Amino acid sequence: MQTQPENEDSNTGPAQRISTKVENGVNDTCAVDYELASLPDAPTFFPTMEEFRDPMRYIESIRLQAEEAGLIKIIPPKEWKCPFTIKEKGDSFHFQTCEGEEGDAGDSFGFGEGGFYTFHSFRRRADDFKSKWFSDWERPVTVEDVEKEYWRVVDGGDLMLRVEYGNDLDVSGHGSGFPTATNCKPEDKVLSLPSYLQEYVESPWNLNNLPLQEASLLKYISPNGEISGVSAPWVYVGMLFSTFCWHNEDNYLYSINYMHHGAGKTWYGVPGGEAEKFEQVFYNEVPELFEKDPKLLFKLCTMISPKVFQERGVRVYHTVQRPGEFIVTMPQSYHGGFSHGFNCNEAVNFAPADWLPFGRASVERYKCKKRSPVFSHERLVM
């Protein structure tokens, strides 16, 4: 998840106008068999219930494998079935989407304000859009089909398509998809929460709790321990082709993303050790954009096919996230991706002790790029 300091222009709203031949939101081109990059799968882990009790200890136990890929998928034990609180209150969950205009290159997006929705009204919009997009298909649409369509749209075409994204929704104003003491409070306040809900309110895998655990240094960054989008989660409500463009995390933090509900989400990840090589390829691909904006990589507004990086020797991994699954990204690793349809995710950052050298490295990089960090690394260490 990426935030912008107050003194920079915020461009963190991956709802886009994507270049393709469309009319009224309906795909009227012949299906093109876009050749996908042959990417290795990111590691997937299946912890036991005992291993799952302590997120920080478990992630530390698989850290070396995770660093190799830059991101991993964690599938909780079948006993862990976290309730999704937004679905039950969908008509009272209000948010504004972002929409954008294509930039100077076909794979660069600019962002602006979109429409106002409830959870249920946006679902209807998203479902209608996807239904129309694939209306001429005579067979069931696969995950690979969606990925091919996405890159065919981003890499080619000559008209505009609007895609919206309810992104960066602060849980303090919108509410979390995880059970909390606030959103699960009984009408009769004398009553206690049911035990099955209390378990998830207190769960260390509840993203409202995870960043502030004893083993995460983020509990030291402010008096109340919360920075929106860093140590307090953000909710994301997406539709077909909603995109989160290539980026790495603020201060090179770890991130964790949980899918509450809906269609899958494709993720691409580049190991942190390949970050400099990734950036050089990025610069070489769109030099005209960097001439206009040297801080382009901080603004989540450019998506380049993983094939481009792979062909130039950068290791890129791939995975598809589904409901009930966590994605963890490692320090300094670049990642990006898109949604396959209507879905709802929640994400936050965290910082075990092994993050400290990465945090120091991020400070040096930000100095070179004249960018402010989200919080003071030196103050945190002190």
CB 250 within 8 A of CB 10: no
Nearest Cα residue to 127 out of 28, 19, 22, 238: 238
pLDDT tier at 109, thresholds 50, 70, 90: low
Write down the CATH number for the domain with range 17-381: 2.60.120.650
Q: What is the DSSP letter of 174?
A: H
d(CA 269, CA 70): 6
pLDDT at 284 over 90: yes
CB 19 within 8 A of CB 160: yes
Residue range 68-93: average pLDDT? 92
Residue range 295-308: average pLDDT? 87
What is the C-alpha R_g of the chain?
Answer: 20
Cα dihedral sign for 143, 327, 202, 167?
A: negative
pTM (whole model) above 0.75: yes
If 0-12 CB within 10 Å is exposed, 13-18 middle and 19+ buried, where does residue 168 land? buried
CB 41 within 8 A of CB 328: no
Give SS3 for 162: strand
pLDDT at 351 over 70: yes
**What residues contact residue 123 under an 8 Å CB cut-off, 6+ apart?**
90, 342
Helix (H) / strand (E) element for 257: namely strand 254-262
d(CA 303, CA 285): 11
Q: What is the DSSP letter of 91?
A: G
Predicted confidence at residue 113, as pLDDT, reads 73
> Which of 153-157, 258-262, 323-327 has the weakest average pLDDT?
153-157
Question: Mind listing the pLDDT tens digit for each residue in 25-43?
Answer: 444 444 445 678 799 999 9
Q: What letter represents residue 272's amino acid?
A: G
Q: Mean of the per-residue pLDDT values for the chain?
A: 85
